[in-house]
Structure 1
Amino acid sequence: MDLKKLFGYEGKTVVVSGAYSGMGLAAARLLQELGANVYTICRRNGRHSKLDFPVAGELYADFGVKADLDALADALPETIDAMFLCHGIALKADASNALEVQKVNFLSHKYLLEKTLPKIAENGSVNIIASTGGFGWQDAFADCAAVVNAPSYEAALDWYAAHPDVIQNGYVFSKQCLCTYVKMKVHAPEYIDRKIRLNAINPGNTITGLTDEFNRNTSPNGDAAEGKAVIEAIFLDSWNGRWATAEEMGYPLVAIGSQIFSYMSGQIIYFDYGMSSVWETDALDAAPN
């Protein structure tokens, strides 16, 4: 069996944001190996030297700046067969960047897709990296839906400004919004009329370029080792677990966006070695009869 034909990426145009480290890098490298014409998006200039494989094009955008997103949408290829949105930032320990986290980790996805969906080919795919941090999105659905349905970029910013109690530290709500977006938009006309598939993965604890920052920000003292121990106590110690590699997230994302999963859409798939299943069953056990 020809694996390139099975995946269906050979000669196809794909776009990968966050492609210069971690999961996005793993996905971009595999896509290139499968024969795709890969266009990468980086949040900072001068990162191209980190790539050890050829790409069809490299683009830059600060995902927290609307003007950059407008320019990026114009610069992207006229036909995109698969979009992989893998970018995101970490929350600072004092939550001083909560709004920036919202803008980068959710609003940029929503706005960029609204601008570029006409360029995505029929039967194409949109594939998003969210997080297990979005677990419980159903409980936050009304607030998430308000942002998903915001009629403009500015309207979303106004909603954020009016609801600091909802966004709180920023990170969890941004990931819940991504999950809500997938569920709400799967049969929206702009997707279903052209059979553009929309899915997300919720990675568990994964070693990426942001891991050390997450660890430092988890510690009250800014100590990476201390923060790492706190995270492992919450997510890994109960099952003697390990951290995932970036490839263990990037590779499944590529598979989901391929023709192998041509009949799957509107799904949020947890790659957390079962932690979310434990949370679900624990909640059911605790629920009143």
Structure 2
Amino acid sequence: MEIKELFGFEGKNVVITGAASGMGKAACELLIELGANVYAADLNPIDLPVKKAFQANLGEKEEIEKLVDQLPNDIVAFYSCQGISHFPGREYLVSKVNFLGQKYMTELLLPKISDYGSITYISSVGGFGWERNYQNCLDLINQKTWDESMEWYKNHEELFIAKDNNALDYTFAKQCLLSYVNAKCMDKQFIGRYIRINAICPGDTTTGLTDDFNKSTGNGNAEAGAKAIEQIFLSSWNGFAAEPKDQGYPLVALGSKLCSYISGQKLYIDYGLTSSWTHMGLCGTSMGSAQEASQKTTENK
């Protein structure tokens, strides 16, 4: 059996967002190589030979609706890969791009996804400890419309807008994505048609957003932020940053025929870092306590 046959994408319609750079671009390149008819979307121009490319702001309701209207039926896989980093003052934008827009597009696109199809998100180790916040996330997930969701955000700003520079908006959005996977994998809209839903949770990865993450972590100081990220994610295990393909390739595999019996899963791709947090009883740790988790990992080496 050939590799293309194992993945099951040759000649099939696949949709991917966030395809202009980073992990999404790496995934898009692999999908093209596997023979998929790739429909790709991003806020920025896409320079890959896809079936059709769209420029759209995936944090805006109307642009998502317009995009979905232009996409084909019989989609075998949807990869939702867009994301932005935290910066004070744009918490609502982060919330819309990193979660609400992805939820909204998923549910609009669902009728166009084939039976036995797949939906796969890029979340983050930043969502670690999502279980502790599950009920809050579920409350947002259960809002039926975009407007109701925005009203919910206005009434629950303490959950995603921090008083200090803590990236609470980013953390909450990623926890919502993981909670969405958990809540929907057995929902009749999905399981009724055997549509699988999963997420990957990347660790530190060098992408076009790296400088943004460094600046947001360092309160505007990229060098300080880079040192903090290294201490949290890499120093405790003699680590190194992943490349986009280290995340994009497993992402593609998870949504492919290779993983046809896998659903409701959150795959941490961080060279085992969060497994050390788990065995130390830190499952309830949010990324606001990631520094503590890293220090405990170092102490136990």
Whether the TM-score (by the shorter chain) exceeds 0.5 is: yes
Match in the other structure for 2:118: 125
Match in the other structure for 1:265: 263
One-letter amino acid matched to 2:185? V
Rounded to whole Å, the distance in 1 between the matches of 2:282 and 2:217 is 28
3-state SS of 1:283 partner: coil
TM-score for both structures, normalised by structure 1? 0.94
Rounded to whole Å, the distance in 2 between the matches of 1:280 and 1:263 is 25
2:102 paired residue among 109, 116, 130: 109
Rounded to whole Å, the distance in 1 between the matches of 2:283 and 2:158 is 29
Match in the other structure for 1:156: 149
Q: Cα deviations across residues 190-231 of structure 1 (Å, max 9, x unaligned)?
A: 1111111101000000011101110011113x2222211111
Rounded to whole Å, the distance in 1 between the matches of 2:129 and 2:276 is 13
One-letter amino acid matched to 1:218? T
Say if 1:273 and 1:153 are closer, same or farther in 2 by CA, change over 3 A.
Answer: same
Q: How far off its partner does 1:283 sit? A: 2.1
Rounded to whole Å, the distance in 1 between the matches of 2:140 and 2:112 is 24
Match in the other structure for 1:225: 223
Match in the other structure for 2:280: 282
Q: How far off its partner does 1:284 sit? A: 6.0
User: How do residues 32-71 of structure 1 correspond to structure 2 at under 5 angstroms?
Assistant: 32-44=32-44, 47-48=45-46, 51=47, 53-71=48-66
Rounded to whole Å, the distance in 2 between the matches of 1:229 and 1:153 is 38
User: How do residues 242-257 of structure 1 correspond to structure 2 at under 5 angstroms?
Assistant: 242-257=240-255
| 1:72 maps to 2:71 | no
Bigger shift: residues 265-274 or 56-65: 56-65
Q: How far off its partner does 1:60 sit? A: 2.2
Q: How far off its partner does 1:237 sit? A: 0.4
| 1:237 maps to 2:235 | yes
One-letter amino acid matched to 2:207? T
Rounded to whole Å, the distance in 2 between the matches of 1:198 and 1:219 is 34
Match in the other structure for 1:180: 179
5+ long unaligned stretches in structure 2: 162-167, 285-301
Q: How far off its partner does 1:285 sit? A: 11
For this pair of structures, how many residues does the alignment match? 279
Rounded to whole Å, the distance in 1 between the matches of 2:189 and 2:218 is 43
Match in the other structure for 2:297: none
Match in the other structure for 2:26: 26
| 1:11 maps to 2:4 | no
Q: How far off its partner does 1:80 sit? A: 0.9
| 1:81 maps to 2:80 | no
3-state SS of 2:206 partner: coil
CA contact (8 A) 2:277 2:283 kept: no
Rounded to whole Å, the distance in 1 between the matches of 2:103 and 2:282 is 32
TM-score for both structures, normalised by structure 2? 0.90
Say if 1:262 and 1:133 are closer, same or farther in 2 by CA, change over 3 A.
Answer: same
Rounded to whole Å, the distance in 2 between the matches of 1:196 and 1:152 is 22
Identity %: 46
5+ long unaligned stretches in structure 1: none
User: How do residues 186-201 of structure 1 correspond to structure 2 at under 5 angstroms?
Assistant: 186-201=185-200
2:158 paired residue among 145, 153, 165: 165
